[in-house]
A and B are shown apart, each in its own frame.
Chain A
Amino acid sequence: MSTATGSTTAGGAPDTPTGPRHVTGEILTTKKVGAYQHLTLAVPDVAERARPGTFVALPAGEGRLGRRAFWIRGVRTVGGFGSAVEVVVDPVGPGSRWLAAQPAGTRLEVTGPLGRPFSLPRDPVSCVLVGEGYSAACLFPLASRLKERGCTVVILLAAADESRLLAALEARRTARSVTVVTGDGSVGRAGAGSSLADLVGAALPEVLARAEADVVYAAAPAATLARVAGAAEDAGAWSQTALEQPGPCLTGLCQGCAVPVLGEDRVVRMVRGCTEGPVLRGDRVRWDSLGRVPTETAETAGGGAV
């Protein structure tokens, strides 16, 4: 029952309000597309504030006290409802399965938009966007914004199989070229046997070289992001990685989502993935220490015994 009257990209004009809101939203539409469930949520005062790379926090069902993050895939104006955000839900565990099963009309407490967005280049540079599975959702609004700025956009989409390949057709409309890699070889480059991270890692140098990439934007599981960050560095490009770090609040209150990040002063600090991230500079994340506290953090260097 789509009553959509128009569609815009995530991220409005520079003078639109920013910062999160906590509101009661409503599921307007819910639709199974391949392995994923696509939801449109009416969320007063949230959609307008979205930027590419931000996300919303949604409930995970009765009895689950934490929240779950979902990338804002797009923003649309919906007749009679004001603005809505679109999210893609991969029903992998109890929280996401609960969400994917809720019918249209369900009311949800929504917090968002949350997190630091992708930074956009000032000049029209060459950008490569790498997205894996549902995570690629946050790259679509980014691609549109980059194109508006005159950037060249090249996309590398990866997925375990075709049912998890997000909107390759739509990608082709914004991008100069789209490369597809699937784990089972069902679409695009074959790769049976190796992990998706390895496949992306293998495909990337050529894609970056051909595009003469200045910036690489990536959204994927951490193993793939680490490969992207490495490939970007080898190619002399900046990388911005959208990292999904588990954490229950997603609003910056609990420090549950710590990520070791190298600061300007060359010292590692534990920063909050949900607040200082989710988009972090790929060359600054200590990928080999994710989930742990590296021994050489600012805090320990400062003498703190733990």
Chain B
Amino acid sequence: MGRHVATVDLPGPVLTAAGCAGTGRELAAYGDLSALGGFVTRTITLRPRPGGPLPRVVESPSGLLHAVGLQNPGLDRFLATELPWLVRAGARVVVSIAGETVAEHAELARRVGQSPGVAAVEVDLSEPDPLDWGLVETREPMASGLVATRIVATCRRELPRDVPVLAKVRPDPLRVLDQALALVEAGVDGLVVGHSLPALMPDGRHAGLSGPSLFPVARRCVAEVHAGLPTLPVMGCGGVATADDARAMLAAGAVAVQVGSALLADPTTAHRISAELAAEPAGGDGAADGAGVPA
């Protein structure tokens, strides 16, 4: 039984999260990519980016701090090499994109949409520090007419109707529903909540915080959006590391989960969760009852 996400039916509810699953080839050594609900690419920009200085990823007591700086080969090389490989491997490819301007998003969406085998586009609207990396400033309150909603409307317009636009938003429980409402008005087909939280590296540089500490925050965001927009497909992302985490996220209203930093400790995590959910969707101990989740 597939799950309805926007206009695609993913074969399962477990995807990889952007920037945590390499190019796909590395993960494929541990499990068949077609066995996952989907493969989200690292964020692709129009031009190649070398990324930032080291250390790029540092352990913190509650998760991982990261400042990779969007290293990626750029759209041309991605479309020529990485995307065809993923499609051949049978992955349901969700292409994550980010741009320096709204016009760049239009070009990214148009060219990704013209490529065969793309299951969805995920617009990264929630980089912890967009300005550090020269991206469009998307930290403003999201209301119609503002840049984040213009980006989504533009991508929606440039993409074929059967390629859904997902927006990845910051895990901010108090504002996430307002964001979602504005993005729905702009034509978004589904939401990913969320990204990492803005943080500082030990050396004082800007970073994002990911991992287990995000889980209850991301889950709260999912619940908030689900309460206000019960029919909007929402993927829960943040600290998912076990099948019980995934069940709890689904119980809060998510249609799917994305697994990020847990893959860095164990590259089989997404496959393992996926297999466990398929075998026991509700969990052995009723974990999916979602006790305490409103609505």
Contact = CB atoms under 8 A, between A and B. Distances in A.
Interface of A: 19-22, 59, 63-67, 109, 111, 245-249, 251-258, 269-270, 275, 291-293, 297-300, 302-306
Given A248-B64, A253-B26, A299-B74, A291 B267 contact: no
22 contacts: A65-B212, A66-B64, A67-B264, A109-B266, A246-B55, A248-B57, A248-B64, A251-B22, A251-B267, A252-B22, A253-B22, A254-B66, A254-B264, A255-B22, A255-B71, A291-B53, A292-B53, A297-B50, A300-B50, A302-B47, A304-B49, A305-B134
Contacts, number: 135
The 7 nearest A-B residue pairs measured at CB: A256-B57, A252-B26, A249-B264, A299-B50, A299-B48, A304-B47, A297-B50
A297 B240 CA distance: 35
B61 interface: yes
Contacts of B261: 65
A186 to B, nearest CB: 33
A65 B64 contact: yes
A269 B71 CA distance: 11
Task: For chain B, give the interface size range.
Answer: 35 or more
Nearest to A245: B54
Interface string B21-32: 111011101100
Given A248-B265, A298-B50, A304-B45, 14 more contacts: A22-B266, A65-B64, A65-B261, A66-B57, A66-B64, A66-B265, A67-B264, A247-B56, A249-B57, A255-B42, A293-B53, A298-B48, A302-B74, A303-B47
Contacts of B61: 63
Interface string B54-83: 111111010110101101001000000000
A237 B47 CA distance: 37
A220 B47 CA distance: 36
Contacts of B68: 254-256
Interface in B208-255: 211-212
A247 B51 CA distance: 14
Nearest to A274: B26
Contacts of B286: none
A57 to B, nearest CB: 9
Contact of B48 (A245, A293, A302): A302
Interface in B262-288: 263-268
Contacts of A299: 47-50, 71, 74
SS of A interface (majority): loop
Contacts of A297: 50
B178 interface: no
Contacts of A67: 264-265
A255 B69 CA distance: 10
A293 B59 contact: no
A93 to B, nearest CB: 11
Interface in B118-137: 133-134
A297 B71 CA distance: 12
A245 B26 CA distance: 18
Contacts of B50: 258, 269-270, 293, 297-300, 304, 306
Contacts of A252: 22-23, 25-26
A258 B54 contact: yes
B54 A306 contact: no
Interface in B95-125: 100
Given A248-B264, A249-B264, A20 B29 contact: yes
A81 B56 CA distance: 38
B142 interface: no
A65 B268 contact: no
Nearest to B262: A65
A143 to B, nearest CB: 28
